[in-house]
Structure 1
Amino acid sequence: MTTETAKGDAGARTAGPRALARQRRRQSVVRFWKQYRTHRAGLAGLIALALFALLALTAPLTFGSDVAGVTGAPGQPMESPSAEFPLGTDRFGRDLLGLLVWGSRVSLLVGLLAAALSVAIGTTVGITAGHFKGAYATVLMRITDWFLVMPTLVLAIALATVLPRSLGTVVLAIGVTSWPTTARLVRAQTLAVESRPYIERAKALGGGHWHVMSRHVLPNVMPLVLAQTTLMISSSILAEATLAFLGVSDPNVVSWGGLLQDAREAGAVSSGNWWYLVPPGIAIAVVALAFTLCGRAVESVLNPRLGVGR
């Protein structure tokens, strides 16, 4: 027995239940980080996300809050990159670097909120369908199948068109149309968990439906939910960019997809103004790739049997 293990056992004997639970959670986090940092691709993705998050949080300090204003723009329309404007200007003469940094706030926020809503719906549907079974599960799974076969983007566009044009509408449109995959995965994991003997013992000791689902099933499916969340964020960011590019998002809010839509309307493709198109496109691709790398690394740590490459 090592010294650290002996100290941990001695602390466990003297600590109360809550302190012991906190200690175990801390140890789990430490073990997770030690395994995660061995995945070089996941670590690179995490560093990239940290840089984008830092840029988004410091945007008001570095570029001010009036960077999106059309009146009083600092440059001439469609200026090429220069020392004053490293990424050039848009059709209104606004600094594209400032717009790109400000757009990261909206794109990341919408991606996170939409992914959280999608995973929450999918987890709820998956756990309840796997637990209750019968007619209830059959109806839920048929609804899930219907959403699976329908084009997600078409449903999101239809929903965003009917509702008022705002960021909340975009989050709702993405969240309520992208949950079926999570529901299917969580239901399969729930069925596997509920077949274990300790679930039968919990029911025999008087554990109700809520107790079984919240205390036994949910903790066992949380690793899958966490990995699915990181993967869903990249899909949500791409979906938000697509909706903004198609013009169904809030036109008064700067986002990466909105910048691409502005570039299309300004004729940047035909006129060869690459600085209007390339930076937001690269930003979307890099963030989506970073979240995907983090998701694959998390999935590999939580489920080593997947054999995800490092």
Structure 2
Amino acid sequence: MTTAERPVPAGRRKLAWQRRRESAARFWKRYRTHRAGLVGLTALALVVLAALTAPLTVGSDVASVTDAPGSPMESPSAEFPLGTDRFGRDLLGLLIWGSRVSLLVGLLAAVLSVVIGALVGITAGHFRGGYATVLMRITDWFLVMPTLVLAIALATVLSRSLGTVVLAIGVTTWPTTARLVRAQTLAVEARPYIERAKALGGGHWHVMSRHVLPNVMPLVLAQTTLMISSSILAEATLAFLGLGDPTVVSWGGMLQEAREAGAVSSGDWWYLVPPGIAIAVIALAFTLCGRAVESVLNPRLGVAR
């Protein structure tokens, strides 16, 4: 049995978990010094809370067309603070319910994008040679191609569903992450302890999982946070273009319905403004959180607080 394959004693595992808890405490202590990051985190927490409690606060029947409580296109009132849509549904309830889909699609698409990018970046930085050359040329091709055009093409060819939207966004937005992770992997593998690990019998999987991955995880975490905002905007764009899932309520879908109902020409601002503001707020919140995380994990970036 090689050194890399020996089981880790329980005492070392306990020490490792203790160090992780201390690291998390240091991270939160530094994060709290970033006012913009705290503002973004507060806004994000409120939106997530509203999304999680939506079944209790607005109910799953809020999207029902047959049981709409109001008249079509009512302006804001005490009964309907944001007015009603063309079917007479409460727009405030739809806005809260739509946050569930927008957040879910944004999170899943960002995770898919970062996982693909991290996998490509780590393997290309570790193996190098012809394998890395082929991967990087594919990455360059995706970089020069318009992301939105590729996503629209995929969403058009495949069936209209949330899975299609997640797939379309995830497989077209990974190249930036791949480039960043590859550069970090090359820097990590140039350190002396990597040579020592290989000399002691550590294989490719051991080096990548035990040494490279922990060192690139801060970059992956920051990139994931930043990618969520881009994914939410991409989902809203696809839904606005009519390529989203028509059976669910999302903020982009609300904008698309407002356009179809002629809200722009008729001046029904309450149909357009709330979902647009919601998309802008959640995208800004994730961006602020991502910049704060980036600054905490890499103080040399000098991100403004």
TM-score by length of 2: 0.96
User: Paired residue for 1:105?
Assistant: 100
User: Paired residue for 2:138?
Assistant: 143
User: Paired residue for 2:32?
Assistant: 37
1:134-283 alignment runs, 5 A limit: 134-283=129-278
CA distance in structure 2 between the partners assigned to 1:62 and 1:306 by the alignment = 42
2:256 alignment partner AA? Q
Deviation at residue 72 of structure 1 after TM alignment: 2.1
Deviation at residue 64 of structure 1 after TM alignment: 1.0
CA distance in structure 2 between the partners assigned to 1:304 and 1:103 by the alignment = 36
Deviations 1:237-276 (A, max 9, x none): 0000000000011111100000000000000000000000
CA distance in structure 2 between the partners assigned to 1:226 and 1:203 by the alignment = 27
CA distance in structure 2 between the partners assigned to 1:180 and 1:95 by the alignment = 40
CA distance in structure 1 between the partners assigned to 2:53 and 2:105 by the alignment = 18
Superposition CA RMSD, Å: 0.7
1:195 alignment partner AA? A
CA distance in structure 2 between the partners assigned to 1:239 and 1:65 by the alignment = 25
Deviation at residue 18 of structure 1 after TM alignment: 1.6
CA distance in structure 2 between the partners assigned to 1:127 and 1:72 by the alignment = 52
Q: 2:79 aligned to 79, 84, 88, which one? A: 84
Deviation at residue 206 of structure 1 after TM alignment: 1.0
CA distance in structure 1 between the partners assigned to 2:228 and 2:132 by the alignment = 27
What SS is found at the alignment partner of 1:67? helix
Identity %: 89
2:26 alignment partner AA? R
Deviation at residue 87 of structure 1 after TM alignment: 0.1
CA distance in structure 2 between the partners assigned to 1:245 and 1:37 by the alignment = 36
User: Paired residue for 1:48?
Assistant: 43
CA distance in structure 2 between the partners assigned to 1:74 and 1:202 by the alignment = 67
CA distance in structure 2 between the partners assigned to 1:27 and 1:200 by the alignment = 29
Q: 2:58 aligned to 45, 54, 63, which one? A: 63
CA distance in structure 1 between the partners assigned to 2:232 and 2:146 by the alignment = 17
Q: 2:69 aligned to 57, 60, 74, which one? A: 74
Deviation at residue 48 of structure 1 after TM alignment: 0.4
Runs of 4+ in 1 over 3 A off after TM superposition: none
Q: 2:296 aligned to 284, 298, 301, which one? A: 301
User: Paired residue for 2:7?
Assistant: none
CA distance in structure 1 between the partners assigned to 2:93 and 2:159 by the alignment = 27
1:119 alignment partner AA? V
Q: 1:292 aligned to 275, 287, 295, which one? A: 287
TM-score by length of 1: 0.95
2:153 alignment partner AA? A
CA distance in structure 2 between the partners assigned to 1:60 and 1:104 by the alignment = 12
Deviations 1:262-307 (A, max 9, x none): 0000000000000000000000000000000000000000000000
Deviation at residue 205 of structure 1 after TM alignment: 1.0
CA distance in structure 2 between the partners assigned to 1:194 and 1:61 by the alignment = 51
CA distance in structure 2 between the partners assigned to 1:20 and 1:267 by the alignment = 62
CA distance in structure 2 between the partners assigned to 1:90 and 1:257 by the alignment = 14
1:193 alignment partner AA? V
Deviation at residue 208 of structure 1 after TM alignment: 0.6
User: Paired residue for 1:131?
Assistant: 126
What SS is found at the alignment partner of 1:275? helix
What SS is found at the alignment partner of 1:16? helix
CA distance in structure 2 between the partners assigned to 1:155 and 1:147 by the alignment = 9
What SS is found at the alignment partner of 1:86? coil
CA distance in structure 1 between the partners assigned to 2:193 and 2:209 by the alignment = 14
